[in-house]
Chains A and B, each alone.
Chain A
Amino acid sequence: MATMVQSFFPYIHIILDALWVTIALSIAGFSLGFGIGALLLFLRTFSNRVVARAIDGFIDVIRGIPLLVMLFLIFYGFPALGFQIPNMLAAALGMGILSGAYQSQIFRSLLHSVSSSQYESSLAIGLSRWESFRYVIFPQVLRLSIPALINEYTILLKDTSVAYAIGVTEMFTQSVHVSQVIMSFTYPLLFVSAIYLTICFSLSSLANHLYRKLSYGYSIREHIGG
C-alpha cells in the first residue's frame, strides 16, 4: 500500500500541471456559452412568436445532445466538411455550445422577474431595443443569474473530464495516463477527485450563500450534459 502511494508521488506534478488546462478549458467553454446564451436571450426576447418558438426548439435540440457526442461530432465529424480543428478548440467549442443552451435557459427563467415596465420605460427615454436590452434588462437578469451561473461553471469544470475522449491533456486525462504508468488507478483518481471536490464545493457553497442572500424562488435544478 505504502509503496503504491510512493510510486505515485513523482507523478503528482503532471496532474497538477494539467489543472491549468482544465481551468482554461472550463473558462473558455463557459465564456463562449455566456456569449451564446446572452445572444439567444436577446434574439428570443425581441423576435416574433414564430422565431421565438424556433429558438426554443433549437435550444431543446442542442440540450438533447450528450457532450461526448458533441465533441466527437466537432472533432471527428467536421474534418469531413474540410476544416480540421485542434482538440482543445473542439472541446471548448462543444462545451460552449451546450453551455450556451443551458445558460440561455437560466437567463430566460429569470427574465420574467424583471418587470416589463423596465423595458417600456427604457424605450420611452429613447433607447433602442438593443440598448435597452444591453443597459437595462440584461444587467438585472445577470445579477439574479449569478448563483445559477456559478453552478453552471462547476458543471463545466467537471465536464472537462469528458474531453479525455478526444485526447485533451486536461487533469483527468493525465491522471488516467499516470494510473496506466504506475499500474494503479486508486491514488491518481482519488487525488484528482480531491482537487475537483475542493473547487466545486467552494464554488457551490458560494452559490448557495448568494442564493440565500438574493433569496428568490429559483429552483436549484442542475443539468448534466454527458
Chain B
Amino acid sequence: MLGLDILIENWQILLKALGYSLLVSLFSFILGFALASLFTVVRLFSSFKVPKWAVRAYVETFRGTPMMVQLFFIYYASPAIGINLSPFQASVIAFALNSAAYQSEYLRAGLMSVPKTQYEAAESLGLSKWGAVFSVVLPVGLRASLSSLGNEFVALFKYSSIASFVTLPELFYVARYIAAGSFRYLEMYTVLAIIYVVIGFALSKTFRKVERFFYVPGLMD
C-alpha cells in the first residue's frame, strides 16, 4: 500500500537514479572544492588586486543568480559557442561552478577565524611563511569550515534534482517518469521526498562522523 509497492516495483531504476544524484553531487562537490581552494588562496594570500577583485566578482555573481539559470546557461547556451556537453557533464560543471562560490566563502571564513597569533607562533619557531600556513593555519582553518562544507554537500544533493531539466536520469527525473506512467503522483512524490530526507540524513550523519574524527577540544565549538 501507499507507495511501498511503487518502491518494490521500481527499486532497481530508482537505485540507479540515486546513484546519478549522488555522483553528480560528489563530482561537483570535489571539483567545486578544488576551485574554491584556488579562489581562497587568491583571496587571502595574493598580493595583486586584479585577481582578488576577479574572484570576488565571480563569487558574488554565482551567489547572486539562481542555480537554474546557471544550469540552463551551461547546457543550452554552450552549443552556441560550439561546446556540446552531455547532461551529466553540464550538471557537474554548473553545480561545481556554483558550489565553488559558496565553498570559497566557507573556506575563507574558516581560515580567517584562525587567530593571527597561531601563525606568529609558528614563524617564531623558524617556520617559513608557507610552512606556517600548511602546518598551522590550514589544519585549524579547515576544521572550522568542516561543518559548513558538510551542509554544502547535502544542499548540493538536494539541488541535484534540478538536473532533471537537462534530462539527467537522476532521482527526480525517474520519479517523474514513474509517476506519469502510473498516474500515482501523490504516492510517488511522497516516496521521493522520503528518499531525499533519508539519504540527506545519512549524508549529514556521515559528515558528523568526519567532524568527530577531526575533533579537537576547544576548536569548532
Do A and B come into direct contact in the complex, CB within 8 Å?
A: yes
Q: A residues engaging B (CB < 8 A)?
A: 60-61, 64-70, 72-73, 76-81, 154, 158-162, 164-165, 172, 175-176, 179, 184-186, 189-190, 192-193, 196-197, 200-201, 204, 219-226
Sampled A-B contacts (5; CB under 8 Å): A64-B201, A77-B190, A154-B64, A222-B102, A226-B159
B residues in contact (CB < 8 Å) with A:
60-61, 63-69, 72-73, 76-77, 80, 102, 105, 109, 148, 151, 155-156, 158-162, 164-165, 172, 176, 179, 184-186, 189-190, 192-193, 196-197, 200-201
Nearest residue (CB) in B for A222 is: B102
User: What does DSSP make chain A's interface, helix, strand, loop or mixed?
Assistant: helix
By the criterion CB–CB under 8 Å, are A196 and B172 in contact? no
- Cα distance, A78 to B155, chains bound together (Å): 26
From residue B89, how far is it (CB to closest CB) to chain A in Å? 17
Residues of B contacting A222 in the complex (Cβ-Cβ under 8 angstroms): 63, 102
Known interface pairs A65-B196, A197-B64, A200-B64; A185-B158 also in contact (CB < 8 Å): no
A209 CB to nearest B CB, Å: 15
5 A-B pairs with least C-beta separation? A226-B159, A226-B158, A64-B197, A77-B186, A200-B64
Given contacts A69-B172, A80-B185, A225-B159, 17 further A-B pairs with CB under 8 A are A64-B196, A64-B197, A65-B158, A65-B196, A67-B158, A69-B196, A72-B192, A77-B189, A158-B66, A172-B66, A179-B76, A184-B80, A185-B76, A185-B77, A193-B61, A197-B61, A224-B155
Contacts of B196 in A (CB 8 A): 64-66, 69
Residue pair B67, A64 in contact (C-beta under 8 Å): no
In the bound complex, do residue A186 and residue B80 qualify as a contact, i.e. CB atoms below 8 Å apart?
A: yes
Contacts of A190 in B (CB 8 A): 73
Q: Is the CB of A219 within 8 A of B109?
A: yes
Is there an interface contact between B63 and A161, defined as CB atoms closer than 8 Å? no
| C-alpha gap A176/B77 in the complex (Å) | 11
Complex Cα distance, B197 from A202, in Å, reads: 33
From known contacts A76-B185, A185-B76, A197-B61, infer whether A226 and B155 are also in contact, taking CB-CB under 8 Å: yes
Chain B: minimal CB distance from A53 (Å) = 15
- Tell me, in angstroms, the Cα distance from A151 to B172 when the chains sit together: 27
Among B72, B161, B184, point to the contact of A66 (Cβ < 8 A). B161
Q: Is the CB of B159 within 8 A of A66?
A: yes
A65 to B158 Cα, complex, angstroms: 7
Residue in B closest to A61 when the chains form the complex, CB atoms: B197
Complex Cα spacing A161 to B65, Å: 10
Known: A64-B201, A77-B186, A172-B69. A204 touches B109 (CB 8 A): no
Which residue of A has the minimal Cβ distance to B176? A72
Cα separation A171 to B148 with both chains bound (whole Å): 31
Given known A64-B196, A224-B155, A226-B158, contact A158–B73 (CB-CB < 8 A): no
Quick check: A77 and B185 within 8 Å, CB to CB? yes
Interchain CB contact under 8 A, B160 and A226: yes
A78 close to B186 (CB less than 8 A): yes
Question: A225–B158 contact, CB under 8 A?
Answer: yes
With both beta carbons as reference points, the residue of chain A lying nearest to B81 in the complex is identified as A186
Whether the Cβ atoms of B64 and A66 lie closer than 8 Å is: no
Chain B positions within 8 Å of A164 at CB level: 68, 165
